[in-house]
Amino acid sequence: VPPSTEEGRRVAAQRIRQVAETYHVRFVEPRTVAEWQADAANRTLYLFDVRQPQEYAAGHIPGAVSAQGGQLVQATDEYAAVRNGRYVLMDDDELRAIMTAHWLQQMGLPEVFVLRGGIAAAAGILGDLAATEADHREEGVVPGGIEAAEAARMLEDEPGILCLNVGASNRHREQHVPAAKWVVRSFLPRVRAQYPDAGHILLTADQEKLAALAAQDAQKLWPEARIDFIRGGTPAWMRAGLPFATGMPCALCPEDDIWYRPYTDIHASKASMQGYFDWEFGLVEKINADGCVAFDVKQR
């Protein structure tokens, strides 16, 4: 995309401010957000930085999550689990945050706000801007675990290790530790019934925290066994250049952890794909026909 012009930015700003006024987008002062942060243990608070990842990496409000505006709207459930929490959107000049807030508001989220004045205005109040790597890896944030190379040696020397991947099934299909069997973390009690005598269990996942939490569960289910998890999860295994496998050679529970869109489901049929297109093309007509739909299609 070519760089925007001054005139283009001026026109965009004017129209976006009109959107804010037309749809009653709400703004919040940085000091109020600071109060909400202090109360976050009682009321869920989300801080979303809607700029591009490279802008976020260069400097962002501590505690804010990188969530490009369009991605946050398209996949809200991947970023936020509590519908009735407080959503605070931020960028450098309010404009992208306004457009994102407008859509989230239209989706029926009750408390969506734009940070007044943008990130620069809030930097001193909400903490000094923090820089980070663009991919924001979380390696090392969970105590314990073993390095990927050590895990590889264990799997080679101890063929009886029960290796479990408790990450997302689609990620497992893409790449996984060759010895790993896939299972959803909540199914671990059933795995205990299948492998009651497991003496050494190795956990991994596409997120280190998930593997660490599953290791805690496994220690309760197999109190006499040795329990380890791979520090950094499966991504650390891949970065170490270790051998990996693909596909789903062994699933210990149904692959129903992910709701696939018709165009991403590997089992989708042509009929289901056409059904998706028919649904999408008919959305505006359905909005006009259903008085309960929250989207407000204004004619200007």
- DSSP code per residue over 47-103: EEE-S-HHHHHH-B-TT-EE--HHHHHHTHHHH-S-TTSEEEEE-SSSHHHHHHHHH
CB–CB of 86/159 below 8 Å?
no
Q: Are residues 39 and 85 in the same domain?
A: yes
Indicate the residue among 96, 126, 156 that finishes a domain: 126
The CA dihedral of 231, 198, 251, 203, to the nearest 10 degrees, is: -10
Domain count, the chain: 3
Q: What is the pLDDT of residues 15-62, one digit of tens each?
A: 999 999 999 999 999 999 999 999 999 999 999 999 999 999 999 999
Residues 6+ apart with CB under 8 A from 20: 98, 102, 114
Q: Are residues 157 and 115 in the same domain?
A: no
The domain in which residue 165 lies consists of: 148-239
Which of 114, 105, 112 minimizes the C-alpha distance to 296?
105
Which of 265, 242, 225, 259 minimizes the C-alpha distance to 180?
242
Residues 6+ apart with CB under 8 A from 105: 23, 25, 112
Question: Within a domain: residue 138?
Answer: no
Q: Are residues 204 and 277 in the same domain?
A: no
Question: Within a domain: residue 143?
Answer: no
- Say whether pLDDT at 137 is over 50: no
Q: Are residues 84 and 39 in the same domain?
A: yes
Read off φ and ψ for residue 67, nearest 5 degrees: -150, 90
Question: Within a domain: residue 76?
Answer: yes
Q: Are residues 18 and 118 in the same domain?
A: yes
Question: Within a domain: residue 247?
Answer: no
Question: Within a domain: residue 253?
Answer: no
Question: Within a domain: residue 252?
Answer: no
pLDDT-derived band at 293 (thresholds 50, 70, 90) equals low
CB–CB of 33/122 below 8 Å?
yes
CA 203/CA 180 separation, integer angstroms: 8
**pLDDT confidence of residue 128:** 83
Q: Are residues 213 and 275 in the same domain?
A: no
Q: Are residues 155 and 222 in the same domain?
A: yes
pLDDT-derived band at 136 (thresholds 50, 70, 90) equals very low
Indicate the residue among 93, 126, 159 that finishes a domain: 126
Please state whether the predicted TM-score (pTM) of the whole model is above 0.85.
Answer: no
Q: Exposure pattern of 45-73 as b/e (b: 16+ CB <10 Å)?
A: bbbbbbbeeebbbebbbeebebbbbeebb
- Say whether pLDDT at 281 is over 80: yes
CB–CB of 148/232 below 8 Å?
yes
- Say whether pLDDT at 201 is over 60: yes
Q: Are residues 290 and 215 in the same domain?
A: no
CATH number, domain of 161, equals 3.40.250.10
Question: Within a domain: residue 244?
Answer: no
Question: Within a domain: residue 256?
Answer: no
